[in-house]
Chains A and B, each alone.
Chain A
Amino acid sequence: MMPEPYEFSVVEAAARIRKGVLSPVALAESLLARIDALDSDLQAWVTIDREAVLAAARHSENDVRSGAPLGPIHGVPVGLKDIFYTAGMLTACGSKVYADFVPDFDATCVAKIKAAGGIILGKAVTTEFATSDPSPTHNPWNLEHTPGGSSSGSSAAVAARMVPAALGSQTGGSTCRPAAYNGIVGLKPTYGRISRYGVVPVSWSLDHVGILTRTVADAALMLQVMSGEDGNDPGSLRLPVPDFSAQMAEHDRPPRIGLVRQYYQDYSTPEIWAHTEAIANQLAEAGAEVEEIPLPDSFARVHSFQRVVMNVDCAAFHEANHRTRAADYGPRIRAGMEMGMLIPTATYLKAQRLRRQFRADLNEMASKVDVVMTPATPAPAPKDLNTTGDAAYQVPWTAAGLPTVVVPTGLSELGMPMAVQFGGPWAEEGRVLGASQWCERVAGLNQGPPNYS
């Protein structure tokens, strides 16, 4: 039986559109109908300009018919967390403070998606300013469980087949944690690999653009589309963009895996740790070389210095609005920025100094193997809509700015997704993606939420 268009991955949809066997208009209509059917339950979307989507899809279709040059994601719709600037389109950041904010330009990564032929499907729900006050979004695997955050809508929408790819962001764990909770792939690239120009910040030195998809190959393609130096982003990576697909293919083989037991075994639920060990054994049986590796000493303070940096940066960005509109902020972001206002400057700089040491240490640890493997989260998505979950397993990699990929690998006793996280050295996304794709093939979950796929 022919699959419905909404079921296609980015790679599948783009290939079919290029061959002329899938109409961009049919794809857009299929996804919009899917959103109409499901979003009252899931509440993943905040703004969709239906007419603009269909007009862009018709334009894409005309390009295919006329033989015009087609970009790598021509005609494929993409969702955006509602912190990405979109020219002429509301970018409310889940906040009363930005309730009427309409940017007059596209974020660099949004412009790159459009230049590659992608269609902006709409803006997905974010927690307020991408921090930790929960959003109204529900987890499609079980509506009583959190989808995680802060990229809540982007993750739930990709999992429920309302869009094949969506952008998130990560300052602590906001892309890879919700990816794990929703049973999809999450990619947090190296810091600065994707420009953050036109992305409303939480913390300038910690923020990353993240990618949420249903396959590792899709994440690699989206990374290729958006990567590159941007003079408008002072943190932008000054490196040529490699061919990630070629790198991924080179590393798509049984990898040498460094499994981290220290800290992770004790901090995880028994179910999560048993699952992680089972996946490691499964990968070893398929040919991977799995060895246990120790954490660097500097790991011990990473959660403290990451939080110090994040709170101070957040306070600096919001200070002017806090003076006049403090009551309009959610309780957690307000408290976090107020803590940032109280932290001594010398402590902030000490935190940033410790962070530099940690980054060097984690990079050295990751360079000893092909990929570092840990559970993706300490527990499956909690049955609690008043939390976004625990970002403890993402924070170290975010603070270090090193790349990670989350691959869904199983279901808990309660039927919630479980996942593993792979990390690699600085600027080695291709290596991490290749090992992740191999793992996806050997031990991937390969199913969506029962009521929404």
Chain B
Amino acid sequence: MSLTKSEDWYYEEMRRRAVAMFGEERAQDLEDYLRTTARQIADVEDAEAHPDLEPVVQG
């Protein structure tokens, strides 16, 4: 996912994958969670990380 994707784009992508994994009915149940998670993903992806910054593996 590129840095320029919008929150709505992430939501549509998440929903498409939710339907594929859990079915349409469950995806509908998860609507609020999908919206919230799309916002969180967009927030993370919108941030700049220094190229030398390695991920935390243990806290």
Contacts and interface: CB of A to CB of B under 8 A. Distances in A.
Contacts, number: 93
Interface string A40-59: 00000000000000000000
A356 B58 contact: no
A206 interface: yes
B58 to A, nearest CB: 4
B18 to A, nearest CB: 6
A351 B54 contact: no
A349 B34 CA distance: 20
B44 A304 contact: yes
Interface string A190-221: 01100000000000111110000000000000
B55 A356 contact: yes
Interface string B26-53: 1001100110010111011101011001
Contacts of B33: 335-336, 338-339
A349 B1 CA distance: 13
Contacts of A307: 37, 40
B19 to A, nearest CB: 11
Contacts of B45: 347, 350
B54 A346 contact: no
B41 A301 contact: no
A353 B55 contact: yes
B41 A308 contact: yes
Interface residues of B, number: 28
A304 B40 contact: yes
Contacts of B39: 304
A23 to B, nearest CB: 41
A206 B59 contact: yes
The interface residues of chain A, by DSSP majority, are classed as helix
B47 A301 contact: yes
Given A338-B18, A338-B33, A205 B57 contact: yes
A191 B50 CA distance: 24
B22 A338 contact: yes
A315 B39 CA distance: 19
A353 B1 contact: no
A173 interface: no
A137 B47 CA distance: 40
A308 B59 contact: no
B59 A192 contact: yes
A108 B21 CA distance: 38
A308 B40 contact: yes
A347 B1 contact: yes
A350 B58 contact: no
Nearest to A351: B44
27 contacts: A191-B58, A191-B59, A205-B56, A205-B58, A205-B59, A303-B40, A304-B39, A304-B44, A307-B37, A311-B37, A338-B22, A338-B30, A339-B37, A342-B34, A343-B41, A344-B41, A346-B1, A347-B1, A349-B55, A353-B55, A354-B44, A354-B47, A355-B56, A356-B53, A356-B56, A357-B50, A357-B53
Interface of B: 1, 14, 17-18, 21-22, 26, 29-30, 33-34, 37, 39-41, 43-45, 47, 49-50, 53-59
